[in-house]
């Protein structure tokens, strides 16, 4: 049975059945943007603190009108922080104050269902008296959520949020993230090799639709490619590749090629050189000042009239050439 405890009473003692607990974000840094007349850009005033987080419970009420009155007195009796914990995290507690703007007695008696919201200090305290834990961002929360098999065994290697990376598995440790079991399929390489999502890949979860998170993810992917000798052009996969029904990564898929280009940029910066494609078979000619297609065909193919073959092979849309342009030359 789900429950929460607040200000000396358990929810079930007050006739409440907890149906759902909200998923809340970690506390955000408290700062404000100040516009200064005559100055371009806003000034950031950092208060060097974290804002409160909100925890909500969807509940139904079973009880009399008198019980509903007692419920109101219980939740609203103090404007100070009280002791709050619940069945999901029984070994931890928060300091919370009830903030729902509703006539709790009227709603519970006539409707029988409501969302109760508490504003909590940005720390989660352990009942054993150990140091308070602060949930600073979504990557940490995802890590805690999957810790010790809490998500039925689903676990990945890295979570990324803004400019923070949380590692959950060693890079050589098997994850359980691709929804392909222990199967393999054809890889993106051209050597005929196979790959398994769970068996062979390092999984990264880029959380939310945030440009900074995506950029940090691109840097992490580039770093891992360099570290493990992987090719950014063939060795980066989407979740959808292994499980087509999963439209993931949902926020990156619409511009997947742009993301790959960003990875390549960071990879080049790490390695000091770009991965260049293998040279095409056949001859090439670098255009010099004064060259024309007819002249190039005459020199390279023996007949100026064969310039149309150069046009077709290179997909040219006009006869205009630029110095330095590289043209593929047909076989003689």
* 284-332 confidence digits (pLDDT tens): 888 888 888 989 988 888 888 888 888 888 878 777 888 888 888 887 6
Q: Do 254 and 287 belong together in one domain?
A: no
Model confidence pLDDT, tens digit, residues 85-123:
988 878 888 899 999 876 766 676 666 788 899 998 887
DSSP for 17-69, written as a single string: EEEEE---PPPPEEEEEE--TT-SSPEEEEEEEE--EEEEEEEEE-S-HHHHH
pLDDT at site 264: 93
Residue given tokens 């809490």 in the structure block: 150
Is residue 50 included in any domain, yes or no?
yes
Tokens of residue 250, six digits: 């949902």
Q: Do 143 and 243 belong together in one domain?
A: yes
Q: Which residues pair with 105 in a beta bridge?
A: none
**Residue 117 belongs to domain spanning:** 4-126
Total of domains in the chain: 3
Residue 134 has pLDDT above 60, yes or no: no
**Residues ≥6 apart with Cβ < 8 Å to 138:** 25, 26, 159, 161, 207, 208
Q: Do 265 and 159 belong together in one domain?
A: yes
Q: Do 163 and 234 belong together in one domain?
A: yes
Is residue 122 included in any domain, yes or no?
yes
Q: Do 208 and 174 belong together in one domain?
A: yes
CB-facing half-sphere around the CA of 308: CA atoms within 13 A: 1
User: Are 321 and 293 a contacting pair, CB within 8 Å?
Assistant: yes
Last residue of a domain, one of 126, 147, 172: 126
């Amino acid at each position: 049975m789900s429950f929460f405890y607040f200000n000396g009473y358990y929810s079930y003692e007050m006739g409440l059945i907890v149906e759902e607990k909200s998923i809340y974000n970690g506390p955000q840094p408290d700062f404000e943007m100040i516009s200064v007349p005559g100055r371009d850009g806003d000034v950031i005033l950092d208060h060097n603190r974290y804002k409160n987080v909100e925890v909500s419970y969807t509940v139904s009420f079973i009880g009399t009108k008198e019980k509903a009155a007692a419920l109101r007195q219980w939740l609203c009796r103090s404007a100070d922080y009280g002791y709050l914990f619940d069945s999901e995290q029984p070994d931890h507690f928060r300091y919370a104050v009830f903030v729902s703007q509703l006539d709790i007695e009227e709603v519970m008696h006539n409707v029988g269902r409501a969302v109760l919201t508490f504003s909590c200090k940005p720390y989660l305290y352990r009942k054993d008296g150990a140091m308070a834990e602060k949930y600073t961002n979504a990557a940490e929360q995802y890590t805690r959520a999957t810790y010790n098999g809490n998500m039925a065994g689903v676990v990945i290697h890295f979570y990324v949020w803004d400019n923070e990376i949380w590692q959950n598995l060693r890079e050589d440790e098997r994850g359980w993230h691709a929804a392909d079991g222990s199967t393999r399929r054809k890889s993106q390489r051209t050597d005929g090799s196979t790959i398994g999502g769970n068996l062979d890949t390092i999984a990264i979860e880029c959380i939310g639709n945030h440009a900074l998170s995506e950029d940090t993810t691109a840097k992490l992917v580039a770093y891992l490619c360099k570290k493990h000798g992987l090719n950014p052009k063939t060795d980066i996969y989407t979740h959808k590749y292994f499980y087509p029904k999963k439209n993931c990564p949902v926020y990156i898929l619409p511009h997947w090629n742009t993301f790959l280009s960003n990875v390549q940029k960071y990879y080049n910066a790490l390695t000091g050189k770009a991965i260049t494609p293998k040279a095409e078979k056949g001859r090439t000619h670098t255009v010099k000042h004064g060259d024309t297609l007819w002249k190039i065909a005459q020199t390279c193919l023996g007949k100026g009239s064969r310039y149309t073959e150069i046009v077709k092979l290179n997909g040219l849309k006009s006869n205009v050439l630029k110095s330095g342009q590289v043209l593929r030359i047909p076989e003689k």
